[in-house]
């Protein structure tokens, strides 16, 4: 979409570029007029103040390439300039890009960085990438990772790619595998956990997920990669994508993920901290999917950060 940021006192004429076709005009305006109440967006649509190709349209109108959209002046809340992301963080994210083409960017997200701003955070990965790639006007997260989880994160560079990837996700067409270090041992090398999860919000706004029959179906397949005495390095494959799914399922098995302050075991966390673990040991290692028109899979693999590799080596050395 060729435009600059909306200014409250000016009429804007926008030209719809490829990638935005098919989007409803109300959703487009809500996104374009960030900070404007939705009620105001629907009011200007009802009054006919928004025009497409000089004609009135309904909120359900779907944009087409080449449409000329007239956006009237709107009174916007005075907003501070968006936070500029620290250049050191931008450098870290630039170095963490695993792959990039016309449709897609794949990042090995560092632990400790949220995927998007909000809930007290001025910015996250997506805001930083938009600052890093100002010419890419359609950057969107395809999925999310918890703030403390590292690894493969998909960012679409075209709305058409975002739609296709979301279709694949809905049909289980994206194979996501994580690795985690857990406390304890299982008798078997493979386990499937199929217990429903319910998302709750605590008074402080913190989200907590519990195993609850009223929750949504949630399925994780675990397999043991390596047994390290009283610990195990395990692979987790998500068959559903619920909030905190792997962390809650691992804890449900009695083998919580190490470094997990929310669902973990504080004594085990203290013990492993002394060995050098300073974060949640959960890492999105591989992503595999196939574009509908392609003959072979796209496979992306994110290496563990050196501190986690060093920790595993120290644990192996202790066993010998």
Q: What DSSP assignment string belongs to 96-131?
A: TEEEE-SSEEEEEEPTT--SS-BTTBS--HHHHHHH
Among 46, 52, 48, 40, residue whose Cα is nearest residue 14: 52
Residues 157 and 187 in one domain: no
Burial class (CB in 10 A: 0-12, 13-18, 19+), 129: buried
Q: Is the domain of 23 the same as that of 103? A: no
Paired residues of 180 in beta bridges: 234, 282
Q: Does residue 270 lie in a domain region?
A: yes
Q: How many domains does the chain have?
A: 3
Residue 7 falls inside a structural domain: no
Note down the domain range covering 307.
Answer: 173-319
236-251 as b/e: b if 16+ CB within 10 A: bbbbeebebbbbbbbb
Under the banding of pLDDT at 50, 70 and 90, the label for residue 32 is confident
- Sheet containing 51-52: give its strands across: 12-15, 68-71, 51-52, 55-56
* pLDDT (tens digit per residue) in 112-136: 998 887 655 667 898 889 888 888 8
| Residue 202 confidence (pLDDT) | 75
Residues annotated as catalytic are 146
Q: Which residue has the tokens 């690795």?
A: 179
**pTM of the entire predicted model:** 0.76
Share of the chain above pLDDT 70, in %: 92
Residue 141, C-beta contacts closer than 8 angstroms, at least 6 positions apart: 115, 116, 125, 126, 153, 154, 155, 156
């Amino acid at each position: 979409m060729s435009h600059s940021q909306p200014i409250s006192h000016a009429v804007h004429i926008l030209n719809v570029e490829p990638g935005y076709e098919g989007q409803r005009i109300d959703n487009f305006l809500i996104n374009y007029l960030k900070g404007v109440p939705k009620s105001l967006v629907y009011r200007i649509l009802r009054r006919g103040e928004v025009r497409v190709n000089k004609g009135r349209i309904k909120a359900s109108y779907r944009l087409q390439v080449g449409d000329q959209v007239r956006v009237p002046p709107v009174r916007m809340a005075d907003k501070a300039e968006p936070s500029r992301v620290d250049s050191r963080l931008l450098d870290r994210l630039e170095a963490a890009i695993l792959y990039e083409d016309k449709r897609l960017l794949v990042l090995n997200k560092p632990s400790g960085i949220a995927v998007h701003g909000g809930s007290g955070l001025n910015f996250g990965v997506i805001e930083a990438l938009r600052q890093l790639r100002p010419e890419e006007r359609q950057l969107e997260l395809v999925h999310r990772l918890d703030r403390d989880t590292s690894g493969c994160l998909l960012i679409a560079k075209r709305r058409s790619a975002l739609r296709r990837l979301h279709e694949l996700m809905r049909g289980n067409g994206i194979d996501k595998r994580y690795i985690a270090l857990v406390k304890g041992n299982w008798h078997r090398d493979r386990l499937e956990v199929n217990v429903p999860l319910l998302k709750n919000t605590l008074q402080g706004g913190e989200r907590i997920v519990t195993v609850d029959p009223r929750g949504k179906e949630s399925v994780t397949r675990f397999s043991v990669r390596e047994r390290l005495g009283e610990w195990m390095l395990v692979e987790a494959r998500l068959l559903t994508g619920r909030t905190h799914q792997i962390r809650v399922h691992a804890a449900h098995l009695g083998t919580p993920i190490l470094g997990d302050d929310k669902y973990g075991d504080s004594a085990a966390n203290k013990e492993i901290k002394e060995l050098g673990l300073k974060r949640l040991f959960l890492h999105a290692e591989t992503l595999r999917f196939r574009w509908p028109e392609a003959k072979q899979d796209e496979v992306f693999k994110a290496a563990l950060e050196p501190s986690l590799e060093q920790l595993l080596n120290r644990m192996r050395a202790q066993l010998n």
